[in-house]
Structure 1
Amino acid sequence: MPKLDLDTIPQTNATGYPDPFDQPVQGRWYRRLAPAGGLAAMGVSHVTLKPGAWSSQRHWHAIEDEFVVVLTGEAVLIDDSGETIMRPGDCAAFPAGDRNGHHLQNRSDADCVFIAVSAGDRTADWGEYPDIDMRFAPEGYARKDGTPYPTRRLK
C-alpha cells in the first residue's frame, strides 16, 4: 500500500556534523520517508524541530534541489535575504547551484513539523556553509581549506 505509517518509520536526531556544529540540530528529529516508500530518485523527510532547534547549519547545494513545506507550528527561514516566518502551508524552494545559504530555526515554544524534499545526484553533490568553516562533498565534511573533519556525512 502506498500510504506510509509514520509510527513504523524510525525517527532519529543523528547528524554527521562535527562538534560544535552539531549542537543546534540536537532538537531536530526526522524520519526518512523516501526509502520507506521505495523512492530512490529523491529524498523525502518528515522533520520535527523542537523549540530552539535548527534544521541544519545554513547551507546551499551545488547539485541537489531542495523544497520544504511546513505542516504545523512555526519556523524562521534564514537566508541571504534575511528572515522570513514560515507557518503551516508555507513552502520554500532552493534550486541547486543557488549559493543562497538557508536553514530553518524554531524560535517558538512549540514543535514545528515540515516535509523536506530533495532531488539530484546526492553521490556527486557538494556545497558550503557560509556562516562557519565547513563545506561538504560526497567524501564528507571539511574545513574550507580542505582539511577534513573527523566525522562522516550521513546518507
Structure 2
Amino acid sequence: MLNIILEASQNFCIHQIREPHVVLDYTNKMRTVIAYVDITMISGKKHRVYVGATLDFAQRVTTTLLEEDDSDEETLIDMVLELTNLIVGSAKVIAQNMPECSYTMATPCFEKIDTFDIKHNEAKTIKVGNDEMIIAIKEI
C-alpha cells in the first residue's frame, strides 16, 4: 500500500512542485506539520496514512499552489491537510486498477505540529532540496 501512496507523492512532486526529489528510507525527528487520513481497503482492513511535512516543505507547497511566500501557521496546516487529500486521493485512483488495493478514504485530520514520532508500519521520506515530507502508514 505504501508503494502506491509513494507513487502518488512522487507524481505530486513531478507535476506540481516541478523540482527534483529523492526518496529516502528514513524518517527524521524533525518538526513537522502532521496530518492523517484513514482508509478502508476493499478487504475491510483499515489503515491510517500520515503525511508529515517540514515547515519549509509546507511553505514550498503553499508558495507553489497559492503563490503565498510567507504563510502563517494556520495556512500551513490547511495546506498539509490539502496535500494529504491530494496525495491519498491520487493514490486511490492508481489503486483502482488493482482491485485488491482499492479503498475508500475519510476526510484528512490535523494531528499536530511537532516531532514526527508516530508509530507506523512503513514510512518513506521525500526530499526536495532541503525540505522533507514523510509518508507513513499503519494498520489500525
TM-score by length of 2: 0.27
Larger RCO: 1 or 2 (CA < 8 Å, sep 6+): 2
Rg bigger for which structure?
Answer: 1
- Pick the structure with more helix per residue: 2
TM-score by length of 1: 0.25
